[in-house]
Amino acid sequence: MEADNHDAVRRAILTGADDVMIKPVSPGTLLDRVAHITKNRLPFVVTNDYLGPERRKAGDSRPSKIKQLDVINTLKAKTDGNRMNAAEIKLAVKDNMKEVMSARLDSHGLKLGWIC
């Protein structure tokens, strides 16, 4: 892989991709990956400048006071037989956004404590 392509792939991954697959991809592999992501969604973290899946490696033992959030996962709900209607999804998103705003305020406080 050329350096330019390598950097482009790295940037794409860092923007929040849950998984990366290299072509050609077999249908079975694709279905396995979708099933894994559906059942094992990463918790989201919220800081003053980031909102998205926790990207730390599993072995990272650095302590963190950053709250992790379980966000709505409609695909998992569907596979579990719990189809959500539009009103339920809207309410779940609204509840998640309240958690996000609260966590973002907490993050500002943590950052101020670190700076001061």
Per-residue model confidence as pLDDT tens digits over 56-109: 766 666 667 777 888 899 999 999 999 999 999 999 999 999 999 988 888 877
For residue 43, what is the DSSP state?
P
pLDDT for the residue numbered 58:
63
d(CA 25, CA 29): 7
CB of 72 within 8 A of CB of 96?
yes
Q: In what order do the strands lie in the sheet with 68-69?
A: 51-53, 44-46, 68-69
Residue (of 94, 33, 97) closest to 69 by Cα position: 97
